[in-house]
Amino acid sequence: MKLHVIGSSSAGNGYVIENGKEAIILECGVKLKQVQKAINYDMSIIKACFVTHEHGDHSKYIKEYLAAGIDVYLSYGTKEALALTHHRLHVLQPMVKTKVDSFDVMAFDVKHDCAEPFGFLIRHSGFGTLLFATDTYYIPYTFPALNNILLECNYSNAILDKNLEKGLPSIVASRVLESHMELETCKGFLSANDLKSVYNIVLIHLSDGNSNAAYFKREIVDLTGKNTHIADKGMVINLSTNPF
């Protein structure tokens, strides 16, 4: 299985996991034509799209996806916040497994400034167990037997403090602190989980102005010893359960 990073920033978020025969989409924050390009325009392989929350960089194009015949899964709170009704919308319950073809997906609560944000634990024989968590300042759970991790690492306190000294409005800094994951929190989450079977750690949704990609990657590699990527538009990552 392959992970395609379509977008991973405040400009728009979208990821595709596919093997040429079946695919799921994570987030609706990028135009559908960008997703179509990643799957060689074969819409028949798309099984579903999972949306974490209602903010535009994650949900802006949801109507386009629905109109194209894609089933979209989300929380009740997200559905209500978007004021959407559609026969292809499916409401997920936290901590309840949902089966979509060969994919098993369990939503879990995360911490963000919106109605009912979710992270997703996804299982498939092609990549084992994958954790997807973005736009959250904290994750109150640990997860067994992970193989691949897509985790927000949005900013560092040191960089944010320097930007405040340079004139970054305090209201902007406050929102970052209350809605996104800081580097040390990211490291703490990884340390709290058993990583022995993890093959890839993908750091997603880095802040444009409050992060340092090379430094963040080095910190995570030093901590975990794992194959670590910084999600960048156009990147393709092998999600095989076998690192060799």
Q: Are 119 and 107 in contact (CB under 8 A)?
A: yes
CA dist., res. 198 & res. 165, Å (int)? 38
In 3D space, the residue among 218, 242, 241 whose CA is nearest the CA of residue 230 turns out to be: 218
Domains of the chain: 2-238 (3.60.15.10)
Task: Please report, as a single letter, which amino acid is at residue 202.
Answer: V
Q: Supply the pTM of this predicted model.
A: 0.96
Kindly give the confidence (pLDDT) of every residue in the chain, 244 residues in length, as a single tens digit, with 9 standing for 90 and above. Answer: 999 999 999 999 999 999 999 999 999 999 999 999 999 999 999 999 999 999 999 999 999 999 999 999 999 999 999 999 999 999 999 999 999 999 999 999 999 999 999 999 999 999 999 999 999 999 999 999 999 999 999 999 999 999 999 999 999 999 999 899 999 999 999 999 999 999 999 999 999 999 999 999 999 999 999 999 999 999 999 997 665 4
Q: Are 107 and 92 in contact (CB under 8 A)?
A: yes
CA dist., res. 59 & res. 51, Å (int)? 7
Q: What's the sign of the alpha-carbon dihedral 98, 104, 110, 115?
A: negative
